[in-house]
Amino acid sequence: MQCAVNTGSGLDLQPMQPGGACAGVVLVEASDVPPNPFYLTNEQGVLVSTAVGTVWLIGWGIRRVIQALNVDGSD
C-alpha cells in the first residue's frame, strides 16, 4: 500500500505499513485485496450448482419418503 500526499507541486507517494496512518489518499494494490468469492471458473460453477441440486434432490426425496410412510393421511 502507498499513501499519496498532495505536496502542492504534485503527488508524493510514500510507502505505508498496514494499519498505519495516511494524511492523503491510500492507494491499494491488487495483491492487498482478497479475491472476489463470487468470481468462479466454469468448473467451480458446475461444482457449486451440482452440490446445490444434490442437496435439493435429497431433501425432496426425504419428503417423498415421509409422505409415502404417512399412512393415516394426517400431515
39 and 73 assigned to the same domain: yes
Name the DSSP letter for residue 32. Answer: G
14 and 50 assigned to the same domain: no
Are the C-beta atoms of 27 and 6 separated by less than 8 Å? no
Other residues' Cβ atoms within 10 Å of the Cβ of residue 3 = 19
22 and 43 assigned to the same domain: no
> What whole-number distance in Å separates Cα of residue 13 and Cα of residue 20?
14
75 and 55 assigned to the same domain: yes
49 and 64 assigned to the same domain: yes
Note if the pTM is more than 0.95: no
Residue-level pLDDT at 57:
98
Predicted confidence (pLDDT) per residue in 1-48, tens digit = 777 777 778 777 777 777 777 767 777 777 777 788 888 899 999 999
Greater model confidence, 74 or 1: 1
Residue-level pLDDT at 45:
93
Greater model confidence, 22 or 57: 57
Question: Strands 2-6, 25-27: parallel, antiparallel or unpaired by DSSP?
Answer: antiparallel
The answer, yes or no, to whether residue 49 has pLDDT greater than 60, is yes
